[in-house]
């Protein structure tokens, strides 16, 4: 007799326990249940890497989870992006979605193993990295117009350092060449740092590089900024006009910094990220860090908005720029 009641009590206790646990766990959040991996498709030390490392802790707090950053460099961002979008769309593998691998590489680099339209869930755009067109401070060119005038008279004479064929700086140059009807020759280097070094050494006439790369040299008076490729002027250099102001709106391409993942991520997860990013980008501590880096303009857009922007650029590149390039596809 006693055994039976004993077993029954046990059973009741067990069921209660299970119910409690079940209730308890549904109070805890559904996502993220564990660390979320964000793939950075560039090497450590690059601007994208530094940017994400600067904000990841804040963002993680706002998401109530941990963010783990993984570098998977290669192919100008293609390798890491392709890896991430081929993972399961459970929201635990995302990618730092820069615009280069998504709107430029599919056009200019052969055999990109993903379709930026169909294979990607866009979560948000966070910011834009502005590029500048600069010369040495003892260069005879004081304004962009002087450069254009000289280039018109001397085609192919001027050289401009860019960060690699098919990268944003290179495309900026090509669009600029086309819109101003001039021919400035690009010299591809491996990184923004290398481009700037060669400009300082006088081995090239112009240089298109990101703002953080040239910021300290400009402030030290060694480099003169002629124009900015960004939607609006930036506080670090209030006197420098944007390409849009100069009439070359199409060249005002800034590299977009965003977040994305494989196709098929649940909309609830997407909106959770959207909220968290919004909160992070309003945090004064985060803004202070980003401002110190310089040249990164906060440009918060929804996933849909980012996708629209990228596709628009992609179409423009395909239709207008690709036919003019000597690069074979």
Partner 1 sequence: MEVFKDLIFGFGVVLQPMNLLYCFFGVLIGTLVGVLPGVGPPAALSLLLPVTFYAPPVSTVILLAGIMYGAMYGGSTTSILVNIPGEAASVVTCLDGYQMARKGRAGAALGISAFGSFFAGTITIFLLIFLAPPLAGFALKFGPPEYFCLMVLGLSIMVYLARGSIINALIMVCFGLILGTIGLDQMTGVPRFVYKSITLMDGIGLVQVVIGLFGVSEVLINVETTFKQEIFETKMKGLLPNREEWKRSIGPIGRGTILGFFLGIIPGMSVVIPTFVSYVVEKKLSKSPEKFGTGMIEGVAGPESANNAASVGTLVPTLSLGIPTGASTALLLGALMIHGLRPGPLLIQESPEVFWGLVASLYAGNVMLLVLNLPLIGLWVKILKVPYHFLFSLILLLCIIGSYITNNNPYDVIIMVTFGLIGYLMKKLNYEAAPLVLALVLGPMMEKAFQRSLIMSEGGFGIFFTRPISASFLIVALLVLFSPLFLRRKRLRENLRAGD
Partner 2 sequence: MRRILFYCNLFWLLFSLITCIEAYRLKLGAFNKPGSGFFPFSAGLIMLILSLAALFQSIKKKNNVDKTTRQEPFRWWNIVIILIAITAYAFSLEKIGFLINTFLFICLLLKVVEPQTWKTAIIGGLITTIAANLIFNVIFRAQIPRGILGF
Residues at the interface with partner 1 (CB under 8 A):
43-47, 49-50, 53-54, 56-57, 70-76, 78-79, 82, 108-111, 113, 156, 159, 164-166, 185, 187-191, 193-194, 196-198, 200-204, 212, 215-217, 219-220, 222, 289, 292-294, 327-328
Any contact of residue 165 with partner 2 (CB under 8 A)?
no
- Given candidates 31, 50, 54, 68, which one binds partner 2 under the rule CB under 8 A? 68
Instruction: Give least dist CB 151 to partner 2, A.
Output: 20
Per-position b or e across 222-261, b if 16+ CB within 10 A of its CB: bbbbbbbbbeebbebbeebebbbebebebbbbbbbbbbbb
Any contact of residue 325 with partner 2 (CB under 8 A)?
no
Nearer to partner 1, 176 or 248 (CB): 176
Q: Give the CA angle between residues 100, 103, 108 to the nearest 5°.
A: 80
Any contact of residue 79 with partner 2 (CB under 8 A)?
no
Per-position b or e across 53-85, b if 16+ CB within 10 A of its CB: ebbbebbbebbebebeeebbeebbbbbbbbbbb
Binding partner of 82, given partner 1, partner 2, none, CB within 5-8 angstroms per partner class: partner 1
- Given candidates 31, 43, 61, 70, which one binds partner 2 under the rule CB under 8 A? 70
Binding to partner 2 in span 21-50, by CB under 8 A? 37
Binding to partner 2 in span 84-143, by CB under 8 A? none
Any contact of residue 311 with partner 2 (CB under 8 A)?
no
Strands (E), 29-165: 36-40, 67-71, 93-98, 120-129, 131-136, 159-162
Burial class (CB in 10 A: 0-12, 13-18, 19+), 162: buried
Q: Would you tell me which residues interact with partner 2 (CB under 8 A)? A: 37, 68, 70
């Amino acid at each position: 007799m006693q055994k039976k009641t004993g077993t029954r009590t046990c059973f009741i206790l067990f069921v209660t326990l299970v119910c409690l646990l079940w209730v308890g766990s549904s109070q805890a959040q559904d996502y993220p249940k564990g660390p979320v991996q964000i793939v950075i498709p560039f090497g450590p030390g690059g601007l994208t890497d530094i940017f994400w490392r600067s904000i990841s802790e804040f963002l993680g707090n706002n998401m109530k989870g941990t963010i783990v950053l993984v570098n998977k460099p290669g192919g100008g961002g293609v390798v890491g992006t392709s890896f991430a979008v081929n993972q399961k769309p459970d929201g635990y593998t995302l990618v730092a979605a820069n615009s280069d691998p998504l709107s430029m590489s599919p056009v200019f680099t052969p055999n990109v193993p993903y379709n930026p339209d169909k294979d990607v869930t866009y979560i948000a755009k966070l910011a834009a990295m502005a590029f500048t067109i600069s010369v040495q401070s003892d260069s005879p060119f004081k304004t962009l117009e002087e450069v254009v005038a000289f280039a018109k008279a001397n085609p192919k004479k001027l050289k401009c350092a860019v960060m690699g064929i098919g990268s944003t700086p290179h495309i900026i140059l090509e669009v600029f060449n086309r819109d101003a009807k001039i021919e400035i020759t690009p010299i591809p280097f491996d990184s923004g740092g290398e481009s700037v070094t060669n400009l300082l050494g006088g081995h090239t006439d112009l240089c298109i590089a990101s703002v953080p790369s040239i910021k300290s040299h400009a402030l030290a008076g060694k480099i003169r900024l002629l124009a900015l490729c960004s939607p609006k002027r930036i506080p670090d250099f209030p006197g420098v006009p944007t390409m849009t102001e100069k009439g070359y709106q199409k060249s005002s391409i800034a590299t977009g910094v965003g977040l994305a993942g494989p196709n098929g991520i649940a909309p609830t997860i997407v909106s959770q990220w959207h909220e968290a990013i919004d909160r992070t980008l309003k945090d004064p501590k985060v803004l202070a860090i980003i401002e110190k880096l310089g040249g990164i303009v906060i440009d918060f857009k929804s996933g849909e908005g980012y996708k629209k922007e990228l596709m628009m650029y992609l179409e423009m590149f395909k239709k207008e720029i690709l036919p003019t390039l000597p690069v074979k596809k």
